Chains A and B, each alone.
Chain A
Amino acid sequence: MSIFSFARVKAVLLKEFVQMRRDRTTFAMMIGVPIMQLILFGFAINSDPRHLPAALMDRDQSVFSRSVTHAAENSTFIDFTHHPATEMEAERLIREGEVSFIFIIPENFGRNLARGENPQVLLVADATDPSASSGAVNSMKQIVAEGLRRDLSGSLGALAQAPPPVDVVIHKRYNPAGITQYNIIPGLLGIIIAMTMTMITAVAITREKERGTMENLLAMPIKPLEMMIGKISPYVIIGYVQTVVVLIAAEFAFEIPMAGSHLTLFAAVTLYIIVNLLIGFFFSSIAQTQMQALQMTFFLLLPQILLSGFLFPFLGMPRWAQYIGEALPATHFMRLMRGVMLKGADAADLFASFWPLGAIMLVVGTMAMIRYKTTLD
């Protein structure tokens, strides 16, 4: 008798192959996750974002101001997507996250330039995410000077010599020191909630199925909505505990400012917790085993981390990735958290991020109710 039997190794190996073939979900995950990662990391994520949306207020409308704006756009760092009429409108755009920059060219810019009075242009940058804004912030002075060089020839040739004829004033909003934690910590709460809340309810129904207690539950006169509310409610409290822990850490360990109202934050957190619990409940109603439910949770978590603007600038991603991102609850929660904590945005400013979360909640809740079966069929 041999000590090491290849026959027994083969027996185990064959059994594993058979079982792997039966467990379609796991097999799909093993293939699906790498493909998803390849696509997300390869095509969607961009840590050096270009073409960030900007609001342009050109109050000069001269040859020179147009040269400056063309130069700014040609740099590919920013695209002038908005042309607000008033400063208030421009402020709203940046606070709501519609644009990452405001570029203001004052009146008489061209005249003052021609007179050699060294006029100023203003670049206001949303610095909540330092990595997103740094490209434009660091190079705008040079871009403007380069853009004017061709115009400053002939009689104005002297101005083209150093020092630069224009002063680019840069205002870094919300996170002037460019501290990464300011951006990461509020967003991290979104990832923590997405991971734990979805996971905990994802196993809620499948655990009953696996333990055989589901049959007993289904034999009882309980309605699907009662079951759903009863199943998710306890975890809302857990979600609040997580939130408090993160907020205390944010305040004392990372000294992140809290510019907005706690009430708005509370509303955002509550909505987001419920959305994630419902997603978990939905997974639970379609998965057969706890393992499957957890795999689905993981499968959703990956884009929530990568496409939500948590780690990488949302506006730096290609269009298609932004569309996917818009469908993810984490994306809207990131905006809400950064809006409230860093920008001091109020509920009205943040409506654009509140309503998608509400819509996702309704859709997922309805799907869960449709999928939840009151029979064993």
Chain B
Amino acid sequence: MADTPKMNTVGRPSAPDFDIEHTSFKTLLGGRGLLQSEKLIFEWDDYHRTGVDFADVAIDTSDLGDLVRGDTLNLPGLTEPEAVRHYVRLSQKNHAIDLALYPLGSCTMKHNPRLNEKMARVSGLGDIHPLQPVSTVQGALALMDSLAHWLKTLTGMPAVALTPKAGANGELCGLLAIKAAHEAKGQGQRRTVLVPSSAHGTNPATAAFVGYTVREIGQTNDGRVDLEDLKAKIAATGDQLAAIMLTNPNTCGLFERDIVTIAELIHAAGGYFYCDGANFNAIVGRVRPGDLGVDAMHINLHKTFSTPHGGGGPGAGPVVLSEALAAFAPRPWVVSSGQGFTLEEHGEDASKANFGRMCAFHGQMGMYIRALTYMLSHGSDGLKQVAEDAVLNANYIKVALGDVMSVPFPDGPCMHEALFDDSWLEGTGVTTLDFAKAMIDEGFHPMTMYFPLVVHGAMLIEPTETESKAELDRFVAVLRALAEAALDGDVSRFKGAPYLAPAKRLDETRAARQPKLTHS
């Protein structure tokens, strides 16, 4: 056997032997080390390759005549290694919860358990067809029934419509049920919705969608619904009042203390209480919306119940309904009998009142599976702990930053998210946007900015329960240091930020003025 050659270490430095002053040079290919530049798939030269192996069979299309496609598809194909590399390179330009804190207030970026993903892909769940005979999908219907049971029990509500495809679709479902209920009582003139000024944009958008007029209600100095203004608006709206749409905990991260009174006032005036359940994760397992007088509430399964956000969906937005609205739920729904489960798809049984159909088939089954897996994993005790830890983490952030950043509603605890405004930045030349962009250089995703609209330069931080104390401390240390830098006048650190992200600040005005939405 030949001698193993020894590595020649003579003259080989073990540390850099020159001072690196800066590294802001352009690389030959435009990437930066591990961060590869990546062209568009449409910029490959050869469009005739493919990453699948299908035979080119001969077919007789004479019966199709002119229907055969004549134009060039002009769609590039990549072989598998090229495709994998393309998407892996792109993926590395994304921030993700799996990488670091992602404190987008109101969005609930919590850890997504991988068991949920595994179960959604099991044969018999992930691969079944929505229109198979119901005798062959009894397990799927049982799963939906089980999810419904959990949702009803956790919310203390008697009914749930599972099919809405996301939160905003759930809002639409809730308002359509409310509209149908009013019309059934001969009260179709009730077409005004009261919405607080702090509401999510989807609330007024959904109200307008169903032809309702939006009337804003004011807010108190402590960030809650102004009861006096509410009473005045209810009186002024009279028999036009359809509903109130209220987020609770609200978008300032605060529990509406007067919520039971609000519900009573609305009900006494003939309206229904739609609760935007985007923030249900703050109270799940601890407070039941049914005990607060709610008539309808959507639940974002991708927030409270941890189905992945996927770069912008898919979500799922089941809507729990009170006794007063239950009969108006959209079709289809699962019916449980002694013999098993059936699916009511035509609404031909006793519940003729159903307002229609939200979508084809039966909703977001893939999300139902993930959410139920999450619920079964946590259980009633774990879910209560979820709410408590989420609220604890947010209050910890609020206190840990409250002496350097300004808190618009300082009195009392917050719920699952801590709200700051930009008054502390006054005179520094640094804006909320600049501050957020500097966080990117430090490896954190910015918080929700400029929302809710009722607070100037809002910064809404939602840490969620899946962050450890150590991670929160790391985050707090960075934000405190950044805050001090801003207050010390280190403006360039913020104005040019981010310096270290895969892209610099992007020209959004140009994108909107000369829209280029496809490659040409």
Judge: A and B partners, yes or no. Answer: no
